[in-house]
Homo-oligomer: A and B are copies of this chain.
Amino acid sequence: MQLAVSSDMLVEGRHFLSTVDPARLGHKALAVNLSDLAACGAEPLACTLALALPRADETFVAGFAQGLFALADTHGIELVGGDTTAGPLNICITAIGQVPPGQALLRSGARVGDEVWVSGCLGDARLALEVFRGRVNLSRAMSGSDFDTVRMAMEMPQPRVALGLALRGVARSAIDLSDGLAGDIRHILQRSGVGATVNLDALPRSAILAAQPQALQHECLAAGGDDYELLFTAAPGQADAVRAAGQRAGVAVTRCGRIEAEPGLRWVDGAGRPIAQAFIGFDHFA
């Protein structure tokens, strides 16, 4: 078997808010790494946790561990090591998975003519962030229960491990959406030496996001970040196999674009008309 390894570092104020429930943070810290493994079509085996804490805070650690272990148990993986130290709050989880030789989904596998697919719904996590930021007014634009729903998307992402496994031999390339579709798809395009056109109107969205102004929708969908859905490409003849993989994994899959020879990323609307707007992926140093 080949090993697949993912290591993500989460920093307070940048990847999570200081007010987040520690259990949800424990879940998310592992989920983002399992999402990376899912994008490789890898089966998760184990993880390590390195944690810097401003002070020994038993309540925080207990909650964090509960959330982390609940997700680890769901995926049958073990925490095999780690490190705890004093320092500004920082969480680094490394997840290790395995995939049969030659079967890993790669960023470099996209071919001209492939269809572009995404799993689940996009943009809810970003919408929740915009509520926290005060850009979306909770009392005017969204009900409290709708906010709870999009907040769950932000704080409790579900890594698409089962879908990644089901897409082995079906998808030609894959990546998980962590910094926003506009930025993440470029990794596939660059590694594969291709371009793409994506239909903004086809991108799957929740009813909650669909009720927001169109400009905000577009920003959340195309450059939202924190989606932790899979974006993948497959040959057109594989559309039924892709849908079957989605069904086996219990997650919706939506066709939203096409791989083309012309380099770069182009956006169109549902009628195929070009959309000029440039979306920029989340930049951690911006």
Contacts and interface: CB of A to CB of B under 8 A. Distances in A.
Interface of A: 3, 5-9, 11-12, 14-15, 45-46, 48-52, 55-56, 80-88, 90, 92, 94, 96, 284-285
Contacts of A80: 5
Contacts of A94: 5, 7, 48, 50, 92, 94
Contact of A88 (B48, B88, B96): B88
B87 A3 contact: no
A12 to B, nearest CB: 8
Contacts of A96: 3, 5, 96
Given A88-B90, A90-B90, A90-B92, 16 more contacts: A3-B45, A3-B96, A5-B96, A7-B49, A7-B92, A8-B50, A9-B92, A11-B86, A12-B87, A14-B86, A14-B87, A50-B94, A55-B285, A56-B285, A92-B92, A96-B96
A46 B3 contact: yes
B87 A11 contact: yes
B5 A85 contact: no
Contacts of A92: 7, 9, 50, 83, 90, 92, 94
A165 to B, nearest CB: 20
Chain copies in complex = 2
Secondary structure at chain A's binding surface: helix, strand, loop or mixed? strand
B48 A285 contact: no
A136 B48 CA distance: 38
A11 to B, nearest CB: 3
Given A5-B46, A90-B88, A11 B52 contact: yes
A79 B96 CA distance: 14
A83 B9 contact: yes
